[in-house]
Amino acid sequence: MLFSAVIPCYNEEENVKDVYDEIMKNEEYFKSHDIDTEILFVDDGSKDATVAEVKKLIESDKRVHLLSFSRNFGKEAGIFAGLENANGDYVALMDADLQDPPSLLPKMFDEIFNGGYDCVATRRVSRKGEPKIRSFFARMFYRIMRRIAKTDIVDGARDYRLMSRAMVDSIVSMKEYTRFSKGIFGWVGFNTKWLEFENVERRKGETKWSFWGLFKYSLEGIMGFSTAPLAIVSVLGLFFTFLAFVAIVLIIIRTLIFGDPTNGWPSMACIIIFMGGIQLFCVGILGQYLSKVYMEVKNRPIYIVKEKI
Ligand code: UDP
Ligand code: MG
């Protein structure tokens, strides 16, 4: 039986060796369960010595593989490429920064072997070490998402998970360009066991996610797995049409009773600006979906490989 560890890396020169060592600390467990290992580093166009570090490992250990992108395509592309190129009967996805502790692997395998699960996923129960405001918005995102998305998305879920071959194949069969893995994992289904762990802070280097980057990513998640914003737009349209109708009736009645003093143009200006704003906002939402359709229709490759070892 073959186990593949897939590790997307972007500027992780300091972590490559560490994560390899941490995974290999489980070697005894792997041996006793007849599990062969391969480790696939997906270099997402790193600008530092990540590739050189991986090559060093390859020289000493043939079980290490490298897939290097021609430029930075983003973590989602790295995940996709890694899953597509992994050969294992079981595939684990983990970050290079050791925020996903490889020491959990034996426990995850136990759940698969003894619990009959197809997938063991992890979620962190705390967010200690993370900026408060980021945690707040993250929580809010998951709350909204759970309400409107057609797929199961778990608060605090990490991308760290061990999956069976069947599940990996089904994920790879989803070729969408704008990828939101947290949604895809839930969408494909399969029996999933959730393991909980305390948040671990990144060991070395720094995070690649800015607040703005995360915000855009969350919008992608919402648009990728829900059409609720479009429905809200329609409801808004109906609501304001109704409101306008009531206002017309009221104004006609008022004019008939009280005559027609020409006041009220400031309120008129407010209403026009307000409606203009709402309309632009709604057109914007439509545009966002349209832009996603545009990207899908272009059908560009999700990643481009420069080097494969
Ligand atoms: N990553 C990647 N491409 C990117 C950004 C990040 O492959 O464009 C990788 C990164 O090397 C790490 C993982 O994705 O292994 C998670 O990134 P990071 O630790 O910066 O995110 P955080 O844990 O702060 O959410
Ligand atoms: Mg991290």
pLDDT for residue 173: 95
Residue listed under structure tokens 């070697």 = 27
Q: How far is the CA of 203 from the centre of ligand 1 (A)?
A: 13
Q: pLDDT tens string for the chain (309 positions)? A: 999 999 999 999 999 999 999 999 999 999 999 999 999 999 999 999 999 999 999 999 999 999 999 999 999 999 999 999 999 999 999 999 888 999 999 999 999 999 889 999 998 887 777 788 888 888 888 888 888 887 778 888 889 999 999 999 999 999 999 899 888 998 998 999 999 888 787 878 888 888 888 888 888 888 888 888 888 888 888 888 888 888 888 888 888 888 766 677 777 877 888 888 888 888 988 998 999 899 899 989 999 999 999
Q: In what order do the strands lie in the sheet with 2-9?
A: 192-197, 119-124, 157-164, 90-93, 2-9, 36-43, 64-69, 305-308
| Phi (first) and psi of residue 262, to 5 degrees | -80, 65
CA distance 187 to 252: 53
Does the CB atom of residue 208 touch ligand 1 within 6 A? yes
Of ligand 1's atoms, which has the minimum distance to the CA of residue 99? 23
HEC profile of 56-119 = HHHHHCCCEEEEEECCCCCHHHHHHHHHHHCCCCEEEECCCCCCCCHHHHHHHHHHHHHHCCCE
Does the CB atom of residue 45 touch ligand 1 within 6 A? no
CA distance 25 to 144: 40
Cα–Cα–Cα angle for 7, 38, 73, rounded to 5 degrees: 30
pLDDT for residue 153: 82
Q: How far is the CA of 97 from the centre of ligand 2 (A)?
A: 5
pLDDT for residue 261: 66
Q: How far is the CA of 220 from the centre of ligand 2 (A)?
A: 20
Whether pTM exceeds 0.75: yes
Does the CB atom of residue 99 touch ligand 1 within 6 A? yes
When the candidates are 3.90.550.10, 3.40.50.2000, 1.10.600.10, 3.10.330.20, the CATH number that belongs to 2-210+301-308 is 3.90.550.10
Mark 236-259 as b/e (b = at least 16 C-beta within 10 Å).
eeeeeeeeeeeeeeeeeeeeeeee
Q: How far is the CA of 216 from the centre of ligand 1 (A)?
A: 15
Does the CB atom of residue 10 touch ligand 1 within 6 A? yes
Q: What is the DSSP string of 120-188?
A: EEEEES--TTS-HHHHHHHHHHHHHHHHH-SS---TTEEEEEEEEHHHHHHHHT---SS--HHHHHHHH
Q: 10 Å Cβ neighbour count for 204?
A: 12
Select from 75, 107, 109 the least CA-distant residue to 91.
109
Cα–Cα–Cα angle for 160, 165, 170, rounded to 5 degrees: 85
Select from 15, 6, 174 the least CA-distant residue to 85.
6
Mutating to test ligand 1, I would choose from 12, 47, 95, 302 the residue with most ligand atoms within 8 A of its C-beta, which is 95
The 8-class DSSP code of residue 209 comes to -
Does the CB atom of residue 127 touch ligand 1 within 6 A? no
Does the CB atom of residue 96 touch ligand 1 within 6 A? yes
